Amino acid sequence: MREEHPIDNHFREALLGNEVEPPPSVWEGVKNGRRRRRGLVFWSRRRGLAVITLFVALGAGAYWAVRHDRTEDLPSVTLSNPSTAAEKTFPATQSTEQRPAIESTSEATITAPISPPPVVADESIAGNPIVISKRSSEQRPPVDEEHNRISVPPIAIADAAASSGIDLSLSTEATTDIRTALSALSVGPIDRLEPLRSHLRVQAPTFTPETRMVPVYVLPPGEWWLAAQLGWYDVRRQWKGSDTQLSDALNASETWTSTIGVGLVVGRTWRSGWGFSVGAEHEQSEQAFRYVDRVTQVDQEIITSIVTLNTEVIASTSDTVVTQVLDERVSEGMDRRSVVRVPLEGHWRASWRRWAFGVSVGVAGEFTHVTSGAILVRNEPDGRITTAATGSDELRARYPVVLLGTVSAEVGYVLHERWNLWASPAYMRTLGAFEQGSAVYSEPERFGLRLRLSYTFNGTRDR
Amino acid sequence: MQELTERELVRGCLDEDRRCQELLYARYARRMYAVCIRYARHQLEAQDLMQEGFIRVFDKLKTFRMDGSLEGWVRRIMVHTAINHYRRKAFQMERFGLEHVPEEGVPSTAVDQLGEQELLAMVSSLPDGYRMVFNLYAIEGFDHAEIAGMLGCGESTSRSQLAKARRMLQGMINNTTTPIHAGRTSH
């Protein structure tokens, strides 16, 4: 049963329908809050999808790069067989870069690998008794291990072509191609190619000692790389400044807050393992804070008792009653910040098999923008600590541009020749703050783990 | 635009018509801000509640079924925003030593002398738990079972908080007519 009390009625009648004009900043806050919430919803709904899309795109790029590396620059020659109407293309041979191949659009593939070839298309041409490239491992051409070269048995090709009526005449382009192919070959006795000359109308290349040498590939002196970075950090801010009471209050309300940062980093690593990187990273964080402002109020009351008879004072006493009241004022709020960081780091790396290890040290400029929320301020009338919206320039100036020192360990794994995955535990601490336009300012400190997926570009190769 | 009905206003807001949104805000802002002040400890907190409450109003407007008062619906959102705000703070029901405050009748003349602002200031100065329960029970008209459910406390706690809030308000009203002679220093 509902109990009614006279005081309830008094307050209900006075307050139930009353109106108070809100300040205009509230409507501005509503509009900004809605806009921000729509952005957050968009971001939160699509963040997972975006990360998946990013990795799928990077994976597709890596796959394309792998396929591209396997098939590019393979010299080839096209043979035509008028007796075979259909064209058939054989798949590319194995992926050794220096392995040239001669492809026939009629049916077959002739390969002339430099290293012992485990390859080749075992293919019989339907309706055509000729087997140009049928070559099993038992039928491999002789390999000169000492000079790492082989001899192509062209006579067999020519004989087979002649007996079957295959026209081995080549177009101008094909001639160029076969020259390229032959020049890339380290073919032994050049005179063995002579029987092919009449059929292929190709001038056997003049081999000089230089061209006969097996190319020696060494690591490039330096390589550029580009990396997408995802970082998980725990951030805490140290408040400093001339207003020690306020900075103490802010420090008391600080807690470690988790954030996620995304960024792009580009760098160069030299053969010695030394290198540098520069990039940009963005993180958005929000931090709930709570501060209890305790003030003890002391009330003193002097009570005087006087006993009089007629006009004479017979007795008098004075007592001082002291009352202490502990007043606690809780201030809470949410502080939202957007941070852009520009790191410049030097690193040293060493590799072991597919693994790489290293350390990096550097500096980073950090730019903080307070997006919304509240922060502790000193209440001017009574000097106590309370909260205020982070809209004023003075409050924004509490987050100056800072220079961070960064140090991290790096562990990498080579996913592919050009793709590396790195994990780097990192620590960042403020070295100095610029443009301190407020009585208090913050200096961030950050622990975290960075994940990088990097792509290495072509380096300049020494031969 | 001033002649828009609630239904037209809601539909305009759902279509993201900025003028309708401003009109809806202007129509209810003054009354809702008074509600927020009653639930908040100070003006800044009231502004936070108001802002958060109206953001929720616009976000949840599609769930308004048009079969009741829009003002009542907005008011409920404001009240629940305030409740959620204090539940997030995990506030505890204060245990002030108010048992010594005698429960006495409040002279109606004393209350009549006070204006809305004074009464509002008294409610705002109540400790969090007292203020919440008093607002919900005495002004909004919820019963103790509903309040207990909303605040996540027991019905008996709600009753005791209400009783203490009343006593505290009585004390404040009485003090406004009693001059204070004690000196006060703050440390």
In 3D, which of A128, A96, A126 has the Cα closest to residue A112?
A96
Higher pLDDT, A395 or B143: B143
Question: Across the strands, what pairs with B185?
Answer: A298
The first and second tokens of residue B2, run together, are 């001033």
Rg (CA), chain A: 40
Min mean pLDDT across A37-41, A200-204, A316-320, A360-364 is at A200-204
- Work out the minimum CA distance from A21 to partner chain B, whole angstroms: 5
Going A18 to A21 to A26 to A28, the CA torsion angle's sign is positive
**pLDDT at position A104 over 90:** no
Q: Could you give the 3-state DSSP secondary structure of residue A3?
A: coil
Give the model's pLDDT for residue A275.
92
Specify the pLDDT at position A206: 52
- A330 at interface of B, judged by CB pairs closer than 8 A: yes
Structure tokens at A316: 């008098």
Q: Tokens in use for A19?
A: 């109106």
Distance between start and end Cα atoms, chain B: 55
- Give the pLDDT confidence score for residue A213 in this predicted structure: 53
| Cβ <8 Å between B51 and A26 | yes
- Give the model's pLDDT for residue A340: 93
Q: What is the mean pLDDT of residues A11-21?
A: 84
Exposed, middle or buried: residue A309 (CB in 10 Å: 0-12, 13-18, 19+)? exposed
Average pLDDT, chain A: 70
The answer, yes or no, to whether residue A121 has pLDDT greater than 50, is: no
pLDDT at A203: 47
8 Å CB contact of B30 and A27: no
Write out pLDDT tens, residues A235-245.
888 888 877 77
Of A11, A22, A301, the CB nearest to B33: A22
- Note the pLDDT of residue A18: 83
Partners of residue A389 on adjacent β-strands: A374
pLDDT of residue A66: 62
pLDDT above 60 (res A455): yes
Q: Give Cβ neighbours of residue B100 (< 8 Å, ≥ 6 apart).
A: none
DSSP element (H, E) containing A358? strand A355-378
CATH 1.10.1200.10 fits A219-288+333-456, yes or no: no
What integer is the mean pLDDT of A87-106? 40
Nearest by CB: A11 against B22, B34, B139: B139
- pLDDT tens sequence across A265-300: 999 988 888 999 999 999 987 777 777 777 777 788
CATH of B6-88, one of 2.60.40.10, 3.40.190.10, 1.10.1740.10, 3.90.180.10: 1.10.1740.10
CB A346 within 8 A of CB A274: yes
Local confidence band at A461 (pLDDT 50, 70, 90 cut-offs): very low
User: CA nearest B128 in A: which residue?
Assistant: A330
Question: What's the CA gap between B45 and A389, in Å, rounded?
Answer: 10
Q: Rounded distance, CA A443 to CA A399, Å? A: 8
More confident residue, A304 or A73: A304
* pLDDT at residue number A264: 94
Structure confidence at residue A72 as a pLDDT band (50, 70, 90) = very low
CB contact at 8 A, A371 and A282:
no
Position A277 scores a pLDDT of: 94
Selected residue with higher pLDDT from A47 and A196: A47
Give Cα A286 to chain centroid, integer Å: 22
Position of tokens 């908040």?
B40
The three-state DSSP-derived secondary structure of chain B is: CCCCCHHHHHHHHHCCCHHHHHHHHHHHHHHHHHHHHHHCCCHHHHHHHHHHHHHHHHHHHHHCCCCCCHHHHHHHHHHHHHHHHHHHCCCCCCCCCCCCCCCCCCCHHHHHHCCHHHHHHHHHHCCHHHHHHHHHHHHCCCCHHHHHHHHCCCHHHHHHHHHHHHHHHHHHHHHHHCCCCCEEEEC
Residues A295-317 pLDDT 10s? 777 788 888 888 888 788 888 88
Closest by Cβ to B47, choosing from A10, A23, A34:
A23
| Pairwise pLDDT comparison (A321 vs B94), residue with the higher score | A321
Domain ranges of chain A: 36-72, 74-212, 219-288+333-456
Alpha helix locations (H) across A271-329? Answer: none
> Which is it for strands A109-111 and A101-103: parallel, antiparallel or unpaired?
antiparallel
**Residue A222: which of A271, A265, A267, A266 has the closest Cα?**
A271
Chain A residues with CB under 8 Å of B119 CB are 10-11, 14-15
Average pLDDT value for residue range A370-384: 71
Choosing among 3.20.20.210, 1.10.10.10, 1.20.1290.10, 3.30.420.40, the CATH entry for B108-177 is 1.10.10.10
Tell me the per-residue pLDDT of A1-15, one tens digit each, with 9 for 90 and over.
677 788 888 888 888
Sequence-separated contacts (24+) of A373-377 with Cβ below 8 Å? A373/A286, A373/A333, A373/A334, A373/A335, A373/A336, A374/A333, A374/A334, A374/A335, A374/B44, A374/B48, A375/A250, A375/A289, A375/A333, A375/A335, A376/A246, A376/A249, A376/A250, A376/A253, A376/A289, A376/A291, A376/A331, A376/A333, A377/A246
Helices within A185-319 (DSSP H only): 194-200, 209-212, 244-253
Most confident of A84-93, A431-440, B66-75: B66-75
Confidence of residue A36 (pLDDT cuts 50, 70, 90): confident
Running DSSP on this structure, what letter comes out for residue A187? B
User: Among B83, B30, B28, B84, which residue's Cα sits nearest to residue B57?
Assistant: B28
The more confident residue out of A107 and B23 is B23
What tokens does B31 get?
A: 């009354």
Q: Name the residue in chain B with its Cα closest to that of A299.
A: B184
Grouping H, G, I as helix, E, B as strand and the rest as coil, residue A268 is: strand
Contact A18 B34 (CB under 8 A): yes
Task: Provide the 3-class DSSP secondary structure of residue A44.
Answer: helix
A57-61, A104-108, A266-270, range with greatest mean pLDDT: A266-270
First-to-last alpha carbon distance for chain A, in angstroms, is 97
Highest mean pLDDT range out of A94-98, A412-416, B74-78? B74-78
Q: In chain B, which stretches have pLDDT less than 50? A: 1, 91-103, 179-187
CA of A139: how far to CAs of A120, A455, B104, in Å?
Answer: 11, 41, 115
Q: Are strands B183-186 and A257-270 parallel, antiparallel or unpaired?
A: unpaired
| A20, pLDDT greater than 50 | yes
Rounded to 5 degrees, φ, ψ at B176 are: -65, -20
**Domain assignments of chain B as residue spans, ordered by start:** 6-88, 108-177
One-letter amino acid at A374 equals A
CA gap A21, A329 in Å, rounded: 26
Show Cβ contacts of residue A40 under 8 Å, excluding neighbours closer than 6 positions. none
Longest dimension (CA), chain A: 157
Contacts of A295 in chain B (CB under 8 A): 186-187
| pLDDT for A16 | 81
Please state the pTM of the whole predicted model: 0.38
